[in-house]
């Protein structure tokens, strides 16, 4: 169990007929910042809530810090779940909310949290009701970061935050992670922005895990070959593709492998323009809807 | 090592419960403010109504404790606090902090109980404040009797009952919600509808009203102690079951808070409709008190005799005049005996009017003071019986005094003594005087013929 923050074994969660998680088996590493990526309804929040002990799994096993979080209090004190709109109570002052965190989380750094909020220009005397969405997100992020838990689960933590503050948040997150290494799991739809601070990425699609890899591997996972329809279709024949776009203009194929790999060299030799696929694009290509469900279908009669 | 580990876990669990309960108490602190404000409003309104009544009705007034408005407010608050327990599992404000299902459940229970205790103390406090305000208002006004506005025993009993009733409600709500969260929304609605229909159907067809149903379970013929034990027993069983259900699987489904309101509204409307149907229309009209089903006149007469002695006819005359004029003083504070009229009769007249038995004979230089009434039962308590039993009239020279014995109180009945045997005179008298039924108690002074004649002559002379 050394080096593993969260161990999930065949975790399944059903809401009546909807399957939110479908047999997730993964070991999330300690001391890394993990991006939990996936489309809406892919199961990110459910997975996080199960890890935090806020939702009950339908089957499977989840161990957080080597223990069952629903039964072990010391393990639950090592996990914090935060989102942009936590039910902290709208009528409480920020100072009171900080106090609640300070009481319940053994490693909560109250001074650090207050400094962060001061930096963000949020008064401790304000109540949650009077905060904007971005300010709420900043408060919840500050609390989660200051809790210094071994497992920090941030569910869409940057909603509503302006670009300037977001950059500050990324810097704080990275710097604090270096000071206090721990497993930080962030779910976000803005992968291109947080890509720089992530060390690993877990991609979910319709309740199933697509991959869990370190960021370097993800960057080398796919490449894209653009060219005329004939060239592209001629090249991909007999090769394993992730997706292809067979239009007269803008035809391309996404293939597995590194941009500097053998297949990419072959594509270049075949006259195709080869480019690396960013992690964000990779997550899009790997979870693309099936043929016939593309945008064009909206205008078809 | 294993034992050490277990001990450490136990300590952690206790510490977690303590922390979460503290957080929840902090979160709920505004509830206290709201409770205090609501009670203050109720007490204020009650006092205002009383002042207006007093202004418009001159004359003797007895004031007893708090009115019904603060009590209704307190009941409303108790129900509201009880309803707060409805989200005992789903309350995200506490679930977001570290803990397990059991520790969160226990923390919520502990904090709720502390809130209820605090509320009970607030309620008791208002009883005291109300009394102080009434005392200040009354000042030296001799027509306003405020001596009975405060009693430590009633305060204690009232708070005890309030706290136990809150626990009772809390236990029921917690169990209902816990079951609902396990069976889901649709099943909850179906079961709720079925129970409401069944209960109201039974009440309707069996011609029962809700009070009767309640009296079948608790209340009638119980001592206060038994009543409290009943409430606590229901609370304990419900809470234990809820805890067992909540902890068995750990998970729960969200159930709409409004469902509980549907349960309550359905129960209340259905129930009250049945009460209206089964009660006499007369009850809703003017002469409410005499036809109140809670009061029942008994055929058995109750009475008490006091014998006064005198050395000569002059002394006898003074005593008879004093009594006839109602100059029977209460030793401590000088208030008169609460009889509207005391008649002076000779032996023959008393026999003719049915106050004396045929075989009765009066000894020389003696007079008989007899108090009697057809007894009245109020909720199984014999009001006049208790009143008559508890007071003594005695003679000191030519002065006649009366004393009322406090032969019991609600606190002593709480600890096992039968309520009726306790003879809670304060309560009985307060009830009796509140209804202004002084005519029902009859008092007669039976004197020798010569003395009766003399008294009659004096009266006639006084008239002319």
Give the model confidence (pLDDT) of A119-167 as tens digits. 999 999 999 889 999 999 999 999 999 999 999 999 999 999 999 999 9
Residue to substitute from B96, B104, B106, B246, interface A, most A β-carbons within 10 A: B96
As a whole number, mean pLDDT of residues B224-231 equals 76
**For B85-128, how does the pLDDT look when each residue is reduced to its tens digit (9 = 90+)?**
555 666 677 888 888 888 888 888 898 888 888 888 888 888 88
Q: What is the CA radius of gyration of chain B?
A: 29
N-term to C-term CA, chain A: 56
Asked whether A52 and A63 are in contact (CB, 8 A), the reply is: no
Q: Do A87 and B101 touch (CB under 8 A)?
A: no
Copy the structure tokens of residue B380: 């199984």
The more confidently predicted of residues B330 and B298 is: B330
Is the confidence at residue B415, as pLDDT, over 50?
no
pLDDT band at A294 (very low <50, low <70, confident <90, very high): low
- Residue B188 makes CB contacts below 8 A (sequence gap 6+) with B179, B180, B255, B259
Residue range B425-453: average pLDDT?
64
Helix (H) or strand (E) holding A256: strand A251-256
Whole-number Å distance between alpha carbons of A14 and A208: 13
Residue B56: is it exposed, middle or buried by C-beta count within 10 angstroms (0-12/13-18/19+)? exposed
pLDDT at residue B175, as a whole number: 86
Nearest to B12 among A53, A73, A100 (CB): A73
Render pLDDT for B137-169 as a digit per residue (tens, 0 to 9): 777 666 666 666 677 766 777 788 788 888 888
Same domain, A69 and A184: yes
Residue A23 has pLDDT above 60, yes or no: yes
Residue-level pLDDT at B216: 57
CA of B30 vs chain A CAs: smallest distance (Å): 10
Instruction: Kindly determine whether residue B26 and residue A79, on different chains, have CB atoms separated by under 8 Å.
Output: no
Burial state string for B385-408 with b = 16 or more CB within 10 A and e = fewer than 16: bbbbbbbebebeebebbbebeeeb
Q: How many CB pairs under 8 A join A and B?
A: 60
Q: Is B22 on the interface with A (CB under 8 A)?
A: yes
**Partners of A244 in beta bridges:** A253
Alpha-carbon gap, residue A54 to A9, rounded angstroms:
18
Average pLDDT, chain B: 70
- Most confidently modeled of B69-83, B254-268, B402-416? B69-83
Confidence of residue B246 (pLDDT cuts 50, 70, 90): confident
Query: In which region does residue A105 sit, left (phi positive, over 0), alpha (psi from -120 to 50) or beta (all else)?
Result: beta
Beta-carbon contacts of B29 under 8 Å, excluding residues fewer than 6 positions away, are none
B34, B98, B101: best to mutate for the A interface, most A CBs within 10 A: B98
Residue B231 has pLDDT above 50, yes or no: yes
Please give, rounded to a whole number of angstroms, the shortest distance from the CA of A281 to a CA of chain B.
34
Go through chain B and tell me how many residues it has: 464
pLDDT band at B84 (very low <50, low <70, confident <90, very high): low
pLDDT for res B282:
30
Residues A243 and A294 in one domain: yes
Residue from A280, A82, A86 nearest A194 by CA: A280
Q: Please name the residue of chain B whose CA is at the shortest distance from the CA of residue A91.
A: B27
Which residues of chain B lie closer than 8 angstroms to A88, CB-CB?
93, 96
* Lowest mean pLDDT segment, chosen from A139-148, B259-268, B319-328: B259-268
Across chain A, mean pLDDT equals 88
Q: Is pLDDT at B446 greater than 70 in this prediction? A: yes
pLDDT score, position B64: 54
Share of chain B above pLDDT 90, in %: 3
Using the predicted structure, report yes or no on whether residue A48 has a pLDDT greater than 90.
yes
The verdict on a CB contact (< 8 Å) between B103 and A79 is: no
A chain contacts of residue B12, beta-carbon cutoff 8 Å: 73-74
Q: Does one domain contain both A164 and A291?
A: no
CA distance B421 to A184: 71
Alpha-carbon distances of B376 from B292, B302, B380, rounded to whole Å = 12, 10, 9
Provide the pLDDT for residue B275: 45
Smallest CA–CA distance, residue A86 to chain B, in Å, is: 8
What span, in angstroms and rounded, lies between the C-alpha atoms of A65 and A62?
A: 10
Q: Do A200 and A291 belong together in one domain?
A: no
Where b means 16+ CB within 10 Å and e means fewer, B63-75 reads: bbbbbebbbebbe
* A43/A181 same-domain check: yes
pLDDT value, residue B17 = 92
Please tell me whether residues A184 and A270 are part of one structural domain: no
Co-location of A263 and A206 in the same domain:
no
> Considering CB atoms only, which of A76, A81, A88 is closest to B100?
A76
Please give the tally of structural domains in chain A. Answer: 2
For residue A131 the two structure tokens come to 């905060």
Q: What is the pLDDT of residues A60-115, one digit of tens each?
A: 999 998 898 888 888 999 999 998 878 877 888 999 999 999 999 999 999 999 99
B186 contacts chain A (CB < 8 A)? no
> Within this chain, do residues A15 and A152 fall inside the same structural domain, yes or no?
yes
Per-residue confidence band for B34, with pLDDT thresholds at 50, 70 and 90:
confident
- pLDDT given at position A34: 95
CA distance A11 to B370: 87
pLDDT in tens, A229-268: 888 888 888 888 888 887 767 788 888 888 888 888 888 8
Is the pLDDT score of A8 beyond 70? yes
Give residue B129's pLDDT.
83
More confident residue, B332 or B451: B451
pLDDT at B417 over 70: no
Q: For position A203, what pLDDT does the model report?
A: 93
ipTM here: 0.83
Provide the 3-class DSSP secondary structure of residue B285.
coil
pLDDT at A161: 92
Q: What angle do CA A54, A55, A59 make, to 5 degrees?
A: 140
Same domain flag for A68 and A177: yes
Q: Which two tokens stand for residue B35?
A: 């409770």
Same domain, A195 and A258: no
Q: In A, which residues are within 8 Å of B20 by CB distance?
A: 104
Q: How far apart are CA A26 and CA A11, in angstroms?
A: 9
Which of A218-232, B123-137, B272-286, B310-324 shows the highest mean pLDDT? Answer: A218-232
Q: Is the separation of the CB atoms in B291 and B283 below 8 Å?
A: yes
As a whole number, mean pLDDT of residues B189-200 equals: 77
| pLDDT band at residue B414 using 50, 70 and 90 as cut-offs | very low
**Residue that finishes a domain, picked among A169, A201, A217:** A217
Q: Which residue has the higher pLDDT, A17 or A26?
A: A26
Residue B40 sits at the vertex; the CA angle it makes with B34 and B46, to the nearest 5 degrees, is 140
Instruction: Look at B100 and A53 and tell me if their CB atoms are within 8 Å.
Output: yes
Residue A175 pLDDT exceeds 70: yes
Higher pLDDT, B157 or B66: B157
**A142 within 8 A of A84, measured Cβ to Cβ:** no
Where residue B224 falls among pLDDT bands split at 50, 70, 90? low
* Residues A45 and A177 grouped into a single domain: yes
Contact B19 A104 (CB under 8 A): yes
Same domain? A117 vs A173: yes
* Predicted local confidence at residue B292, as pLDDT: 43
| Residue ranges making up the domain that contains A141 | 4-217
Residue A121 C-alpha, separation from nearest chain B C-alpha, in angstroms: 25
SS3 B99: coil
Q: What is the pLDDT of residues A176-202, one digit of tens each?
A: 999 999 999 999 888 888 888 999 999
Q: Long-range contacts of range A229-238, CB-CB < 8 Å, 24 or more positions apart? A: A231/A270, A231/A271, A231/A272, A232/A272, A234/A270, A235/A266, A235/A267, A235/A270, A235/A272
Chain B residues 111-170 with a CB less than 8 Å from chain A:
none
Structure-model confidence comparison of residues B214 and A266, the more confident one: A266
Query: Residues B50-62: pLDDT tens digits?
Result: 777 766 655 555 5
């Amino acid at each position: 169990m050394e080096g593993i923050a969260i161990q999930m074994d065949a975790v399944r969660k059903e809401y009546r007929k909807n399957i939110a998680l479908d047999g997730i088996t993964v070991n999330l590493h300690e001391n890394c910042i993990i991006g939990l990526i996936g489309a809406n309804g892919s199961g990110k929040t459910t997975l996080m809530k199960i890890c935090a002990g806020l939702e009950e799994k339908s089957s499977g096993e989840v161990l957080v810090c080597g223990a069952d979080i629903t039964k072990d209090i010391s393990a639950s004190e090592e996990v914090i779940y935060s989102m942009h709109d936590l039910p902290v109570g709208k009528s409480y002052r920020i100072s009171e909310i900080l106090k609640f965190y300070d009481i319940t989380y053994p490693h909560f750094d109250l001074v650090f949290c207050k400094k962060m909020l001061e930096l963000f220009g949020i008064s401790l005397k304000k109540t949650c009701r009077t905060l904007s969405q971005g300010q709420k997100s900043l408060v919840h992020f500050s609390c989660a970061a200051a809790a210094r838990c071994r497992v920090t689960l941030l569910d869409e933590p940057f909603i509503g935050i302006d670009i300037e503050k977001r950059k500050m948040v990324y810097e704080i997150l990275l710097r604090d992670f270096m000071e206090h290494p721990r497993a930080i799991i962030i779910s976000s739809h803005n992968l291109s922005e947080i890509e720089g601070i992530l060390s690993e990425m877990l991609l979910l699609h319709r309740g199933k895990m697509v991959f869990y890899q370190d960021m370097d591997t993800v960057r080398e996972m796919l490449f894209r070959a653009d060219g005329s329809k004939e060239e592209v279709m001629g090249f991909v024949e007999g090769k394993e593709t992730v997706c292809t776009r067979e239009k007269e203009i803008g035809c391309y194929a996404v293939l597995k492998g590194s941009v500097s790999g053998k297949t990419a060299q072959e594509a270049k030799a075949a006259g195709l323009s080869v480019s690396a696929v960013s992690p964000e694009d990779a997550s899009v290509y790997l979870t693309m809807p099936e043929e016939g469900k593309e945008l064009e279908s909206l205008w078809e009669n | 090592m294993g034992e050490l580990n277990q001990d450490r876990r136990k300590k952690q669990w206790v510490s977690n419960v303590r922390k979460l309960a503290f957080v929840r108490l902090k979160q709920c602190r505004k509830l206290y403010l709201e409770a205090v404000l609501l009670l203050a409003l109720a007490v204020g309104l009650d006092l205002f109504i009383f002042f207006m009544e007093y202004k418009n009705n001159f004359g003797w007034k007895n004031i007893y404790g708090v009115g019904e408005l603060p009590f209704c407010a307190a009941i409303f608050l108790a129900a509201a606090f009880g309803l707060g327990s409805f989200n005992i599992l789903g309350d995200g404000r506490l679930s977001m902090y570290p803990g397990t299902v059991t520790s969160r459940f226990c923390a919520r229970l502990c904090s709720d109980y502390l809130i209820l205790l605090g509320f009970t103390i607030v309620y008791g406090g208002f009883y005291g404040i109300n009394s102080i305000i009434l005392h200040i208002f009354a000042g030296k006004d001799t027509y306003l009797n405020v001596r009975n506005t405060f009693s430590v025993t009633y305060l204690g009993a009232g708070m005890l009952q309030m706290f136990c009733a809150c626990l009772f409600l809390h236990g029921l709500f917690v169990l209902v919600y816990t079951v609902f969260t396990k069976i889901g929304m649709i099943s909850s609605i179906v079961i709720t509808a079925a129970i409401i229909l069944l209960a109201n159907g039974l009440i309707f067809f069996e011609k029962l009203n809700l009070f009767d149903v309640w009296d079948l379970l608790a209340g009638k013929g119980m001592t206060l102690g038994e009543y409290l034990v009943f409430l606590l027993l229901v609370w304990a069983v419900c809470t234990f079951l809820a805890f067992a259900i909540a902890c068995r699987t750990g998970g729960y489904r969200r159930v709409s808070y409004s469902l509980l309101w549907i349960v309550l509204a359905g129960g209340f409307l259905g129930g009250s409709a049945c009460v209206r149907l089964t009660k006499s229309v007369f009850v809703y009209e003017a002469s409410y008190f005499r036809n109140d089903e809670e009061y029942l006149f008994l055929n058995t007469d109750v009475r008490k005799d006091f014998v006064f002695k005198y050395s000569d006819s002059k002394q006898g005359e003074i005593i008879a005049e004093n009594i006839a004029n109602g100059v029977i003083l209460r030793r401590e504070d000088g208030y008169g005996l609460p009889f509207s009229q005391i008649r002076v009769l000779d032996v023959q007249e008393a026999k003719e009017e049915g106050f004396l038995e045929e075989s009765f004979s009066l000894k020389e230089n003696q007079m008989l003071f007899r108090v009697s009434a057809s007894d009245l039962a109020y909720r199984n308590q014999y009001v006049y019986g208790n009143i008559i039993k508890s007071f003594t009239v005695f003679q000191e020279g030519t002065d006649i005094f009366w004393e009322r014995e406090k032969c019991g109180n609600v606190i002593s009945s709480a600890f096992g003594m039968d309520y009726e045997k306790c003879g809670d005179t304060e309560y009985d008298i307060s009830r009796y005087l509140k209804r202004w039924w002084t005519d029902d108690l009859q008092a007669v002074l039976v004197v020798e013929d010569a003395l009766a004649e003399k008294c009659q002559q004096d009266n006639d002379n006084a008239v002319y």
